[in-house]
Structure 1
Amino acid sequence: MTNTLTVIDQGTILAFTFDDALRYHGPLAPGGVAHAYKVIERVLEVLGTDGPVERRELVVTTSHGGPGVRDTFELVTRSVTEGRYTVDPALARPERGTTLANYVFQIDYRGKSITLIIRDAGFVVDEFIALVGKAEKSAADLGRLEVLKLEMTERVMAAPADQIYDVVPSAVA
């Protein structure tokens, strides 16, 4: 289904599975966990060409404020507790529409900076974004939202990371 995310921490190789990330986060936002997992998988492919990256040197900036995203980055990189994780709404791409605008991630590592942007390929659906943003949710809305979360999680985890997120080189960090 997916590769294990492998990083180095002070000389020790650590490997994380998607199930590890789900257990760490809990059941609230499995889709956010899936997206962050695939972003990290893609980052490790791009920045780890010489082997596993040092987890504590990854700096994360994203316009996505979801808890599943945050917790997955924390598990793998420790960036939240160490102050290397920032939610910056200015990174959003509103010209891409409400559904895709916040699925933007900038990762800095050892003088390199890359930006990952979700492809417009149906990984996130309009109905999901509309329900998440709905102020007052009925019981039916909440039930539908749970279904949409699981469907999105399955779509994202079934695809290779390079088919979900495009990498755009950024200015040097």
Structure 2
Amino acid sequence: MLTVLDAGTPIELSFDDLMKYHGIEFPGGVAHAYCAMRHAVSLLGSVERREIAVRTAFPGPGGRDAIEMALRAVTGDRFAVVPELGATERGPVLARYVWEFTYRDRTVLLRLRDAGFVTPEFIDLGARRDRDAADDARLTVLKQEMTDRLLAGAVDEVYEEVPPPTR
């Protein structure tokens, strides 16, 4: 469960809540954002949802929608996709799974652990533009398998905190 404050009132949000807002197409992106937000909040403590700024290398609509529902950061102009934030040295599978959360005077930078949460098959198939119906069906399975792996991990087992870059 993710708990944030809205004008001092706690709001509890589950993964299922975020999926109701997003829809069904990108559950993995929702799960990535959910796991990253849960870990960020565990490090930052109680946070006012409308005061958190988010930068990420992750461009997916599932992640954006999860951030918007939980933190209202998209409509509040506190959300940015920043490809340069990506950890390209980690290779194409892990590079863009980086999230930076800034709350008041503190910044937390998280990156996906190298623990098989995202598979090369998922990355390759997702990037293909010439997919047929069988490929799309396989991609749907891979999305759900990834989502299940992400949600099965404890709050600090999916994303790890790393030192923020100097700006």
Under TM normalisation by the shorter chain, which class is it?
over 0.9
* Alignment-derived partner of residue 92 in structure 1: 86
RMSD: 1.3
Residues 1:17 and 2:2 aligned together: no
| TM value normalised by structure 1 | 0.93
Q: Does 1:78 align with 2:72?
A: yes
Unaligned runs of 5+ in 2: none
What does 1:132-171 align with in structure 2 at a 5 Å threshold?
A: 132-170=126-164
Q: Structure 2 matches for 1:41-52, cutoff 5 A?
A: 41-48=38-45, 52=46
Match of 1:114 in 2: 108
Identify the residue that residue 32 of structure 1 maps to in structure 2: 29
1:171: how far off?
5.8
Does the CA contact (< 8 Å) of 1:60 and 1:106 recur in 2? yes
Question: What residue identity is the alignment partner of 2:111?
Answer: I
Query: Deviation of residue 95 (structure 1)?
Result: 1.0
Give me the identity figure in percent: 47
Q: Partner of 1:5 in structure 2? A: 2
Distance 1:82 1:172 in 2: 25
TM-score, scaled relative to structure 2? 0.96
Q: Is the contact between residue 112 and residue 172 of structure 1 (CA under 8 Å) also seen in structure 2? A: no
Q: Would you identify which runs of 4 or more consecutive aligned residues in structure 1 move more than 3 Å?
A: none
* Conserved? CA contact 1:59–1:109, under 8 Å: yes
Taking the aligned partners of 2:154 and 2:87, their CA distance within structure 1 comes to 23
Structure 2 Cα separation of the partners of residues 127 and 159 of structure 1 = 21
Report the CA distance shift for 1:63/1:158 in structure 2 as closer, same or farther (over 3 A).
same
The answer to whether the Cα contact below 8 Å between 1:79 and 1:85 also exists between their aligned partners in 2 is yes
* CA distance, structure 1, for counterparts of residue 165 and residue 96 of structure 2: 20
Equivalent residue pairs, number: 167
